[in-house]
Amino acid sequence: MAVIRRPFPGLALGLALVLFFALPLPCRALQEFITVKDQRGVDVRVPRTINRVVTISDGMIEGVMTRLKVADKIVGLGSGCIPKIWSYTYPTLGSETYDYHDGMNPVTYLNPGFMDLPLVSRSGTGINYEKLASLDPDVVIVRTGSCSLRGGDDVMDKGIRLIESLGIPLVVLHGPNTFDRPDLGSMGEEIRIIGRVFQQSERADTLAAFLEQSIAFVRERTGDIKVAEKKEILLLGLSPKARSQGGAGHAKGQDTIQTHLLQTYVNADNAYKGSGAWGILNTEQLLALDPDVIILVTAWGYHPPRELYEAPYYQGLTEMTAVQNRAVSALPWTPCNCEKRLEYPIDVMVMAKAAYPERFQDIDLGDWLLTFYQNLYGVDQNTAKELRACQWMEWTLKE
């Protein structure tokens, strides 16, 4: 049955718009519903048959839906970092430069149609509630802690209330960083909730278990490392923003999800004892820390080890032990990395091999990545190679 909607004259999200989109649609009145408890503990009635979904996430929800083979139901996205292809150029001491190109979120490579979907929000600009409602979704799935839905509890709660006021079923997930202490255990719950929404609990359980097993494998190998033998690791972002503010880079602090991964699964210590995700350190502070290993994270761009070794603006750090020993590794390219996504076991394995190479001699990281992508997304080896390339992890082939 067609639904006639009268246009509104230029009102943003006013009372008239809320009431209009909250009206029950005749075709939905005939639908069957199921009840799904989201991470707020709220029982949400969602249609048994779902054809149109709007997501607000940086790739986590979209990744799970890809694995469940329902990503084609997404009609609107909530992250400007998903429908985007990235490239970077880096200088060396000479006239030579080198490039990284075709970087993207793995879900974008697997779902090229995402490039053409409308955006209901972008990082830092808030949610366009009128556009969201105009997409007429059967359900909206959001993840708090995403770049488009983060901040204080008041900010996130207000966004959730406004979406609910549209009268559309809303399923809310909470990323690990939204808890008092970051913990990856919540990600399994996120995956299983999405599985229940699409009535694919068995496949969701398999996906969650695979991720948990992937990091448990690392934990088993590093669990007996004594305190005196633990490596000091610096989680460093070679950020141009930090350099513009007089620093050399950003360091991940003790209260971040990256440190949780490092301490809980790799059994290493964070060399930076401060707090916060974006602590700015200058050259003198980095030289004083002098960690055993440096792990480069996404920080206002991708940063390969070669940038730290060869860029003119980092020659003041060449005396660091990790630089001298070429003990620098890079995590995968993860644009809009406000919350961990399905690829987080790669971070754990990269950290573990860099910290304790003797314990992972049998792991060829390049091959391990292919197997990981194949199991994660159910793809063939050639597609797995493309995913490895779009996250700029082909440096593992020269390991």
CB atoms within 10 A of CB 8: 12
Percent of the chain whose pLDDT exceeds 70: 90
Does one domain contain both 79 and 144?
yes
The pLDDT, as a whole number, for residue 126 is 81
The pLDDT, as a whole number, for residue 262 is 97
Q: Residue range 184-209: average pLDDT?
A: 96
Q: How far apart are CA 26 and CA 361, in angstroms?
A: 62
pLDDT reading at 151 higher than 80? no
Name the pTM for this structure: 0.90
Does one domain contain both 35 and 178?
yes
Reduce the DSSP state of residue 395 to 3 states and report it.
helix
170 located within any domain: yes
The DSSP line for 38-106 is: -TTS-EEEEESS---EEEESSSHHHHHHHHTT-GGGEEEBS-TTSS--EEEEEE-SSS-EEEEEEE--H
19 located within any domain: no
The pLDDT, as a whole number, for residue 184 is 84
375 located within any domain: no
Asked if 44 contacts 130 with a C-beta cutoff of 8 angstroms, the reply is no
pLDDT reading at 9 higher than 50? no
Q: In angstroms, what is the C-alpha Rg of the chain? A: 22
23 located within any domain: no
Which of 146, 168, 199 delimits the end of a domain? 199
CB atoms within 10 A of CB 9: 5
Reduce the secondary structure of 274-343 to three states and give it as a string: CCCCCEEECHHHHHHHCCCEEEECCCCCCCCHHHHHHCHHHHHHCCCHHHHCCCEEECCCCCCCCCCCCC
Which of 154, 174, 199 delimits the end of a domain? 199
Does one domain contain both 251 and 181?
no
Q: Residue range 281-297: average pLDDT?
A: 98
Q: Residue range 287-309: average pLDDT?
A: 97
Averaged pLDDT of the chain? 91
- In degrees rounded to 5, what are phi and psi of residue 138? -75, -30
pLDDT reading at 58 higher than 50? yes
- CATH of residue 332's domain is 3.40.50.1980
Q: Which residues pair with 395 in a beta bridge?
A: none
Q: CA 329, 333, 339, 340 torsion: positive or negative?
A: negative
CB atoms within 10 A of CB 70: 18
Does one domain contain both 45 and 145?
yes
b/e map 336-346, b = 16+ CB within 10 Å: bbbbbbbbbbb
The pLDDT, as a whole number, for residue 153 is 66
Structure tokens at 372: 């990981």
User: How many domains is the chain built from?
Assistant: 2
Does one domain contain both 94 and 129?
yes
- Sequence-distant (≥ 6) Cβ neighbours of residue 23 within 8 angstroms: 167
Does one domain contain both 37 and 171?
yes
Q: At what angle do helices 365-377 and 60-67 cross, to 10 degrees?
A: 70
For residue range 21-40, what is the model confidence (pLDDT) as tens digits?
Answer: 444 544 445 679 999 999 99
pLDDT reading at 183 higher than 80? no
249 located within any domain: yes
- In degrees rounded to 5, what are phi and psi of residue 206? -65, -40
Q: Residue range 48-71: average pLDDT?
A: 97
Pick the closest to residue 169 from 189, 149, 197, 143 (CA basis): 197
156 located within any domain: yes
Q: Residue range 336-355: average pLDDT?
A: 96
Does one domain contain both 44 and 109?
yes
Does one domain contain both 217 and 355?
yes
pLDDT bin (cut points 50, 70, 90) of residue 356 is very high
39 located within any domain: yes
Does one domain contain both 152 and 234?
no
Does one domain contain both 155 and 231?
no
Burial class (CB in 10 A: 0-12, 13-18, 19+), 181: exposed
The DSSP line for 28-48 is: HHT--EEEEE-TTS-EEEEES
For residue range 363-389, what is the model confidence (pLDDT) as tens digits?
Answer: 999 999 999 999 999 999 999 999 999
Does one domain contain both 225 and 145?
no
For residue range 223-256, what is the model confidence (pLDDT) as tens digits?
Answer: 999 999 999 999 999 999 999 999 999 999 999 9
The pLDDT, as a whole number, for residue 4 is 34
Largest distance between two CA atoms of the chain:
71
371 located within any domain: no
Does one domain contain both 220 and 309?
yes
Q: Residue range 184-193: average pLDDT?
A: 94
- The single residue listed with the structure tokens 């990856």 is 184
Domain housing 157? 28-199
